[in-house]
Amino acid sequence: MSDQRSITASVAYWGSIAALTTGICGLLGIQFRLLQPITGFYLFALGTLVGGIFALSVGLAALWVTRHHPSGIGRKRAWIASAIGFALSMLLVTSALPGREFPPINDITTDLADPPAFASASLIPAYAGFDMGYPAEFVSVVQEGYPDLASLELNLTPSAAYTRSVETAKDLGWDVTHQDPAKGRFDASDTTRIFRFVDDITVRIRPQGSGSEVDIRSRSRVGRGDLGANAQRIGVFYEGLRSR
């Protein structure tokens, strides 16, 4: 029985260390640009999802089989494994749960009837290999999931609205990748802080009465869902425009 206690506790302990190391390596690999963001994300997910659940379940089993030996090294290892497994599992839950309320789409726009178009890949090489057209199946999803999204009307000339829009984008830390003032449009990209995923943005300004109408489209390059990030980005951009 003592051998079984030792084996169970050791498996739990070293499994938790491996899970923690995998998750940390994924994050650090992204931050130091040693890994592609999606690769680092998968490592992080592997550590938190698979590793966390494994460490927690085996750690709890180890706590049970070592319950009569509270001072042994197996007991200590069981506690460590359970704690690491619980922390990793909670990290996963708290990261994933807030996104459950958002529809699983990755391209949001304020004008569903005439979505702003991104510049061509000849102007922005990063677009090469991606379908930058707006998915028709997303229209009804956006209408239902984000009913308040709409064009923003400004009491400014199109030229002034364009200048303010570019300045707002730069204030938000976006990288303005292409400008076309004559057509009243520009493209930009925004990199997420932790996983460094790149999201693409295009903004269009058109005359509207005596003022201007601003529309924006924000899309994620990877992943089917965005956990509401693109719609939130649009809201922050609009708020910045209003407050300037």
- Write the pLDDT tens digit of every residue in 129-180: 999 999 999 999 999 999 999 999 999 999 999 999 999 999 999 999 999 9
Helix axes 37-45, 2-31, angle to 10 degrees: 160
CATH architecture of 107-243: 2-Layer Sandwich (3.30)
Biggest CA pair distance of the chain: 84
Of 96-105, 164-173, 219-228, highest mean pLDDT: 164-173
| pTM for the whole structure | 0.89
Average pLDDT on 71-81 reads 93
Closest CA to 151 of 184, 177, 105: 184
**CA geometry: angle 213, 215, 220, nearest 5 deg:** 170
CA distance 50 to 44: 10
Domain boundaries, the chain: 2-100, 107-243
Task: Tell me what the pLDDT averaged over the chain comes to.
Answer: 94
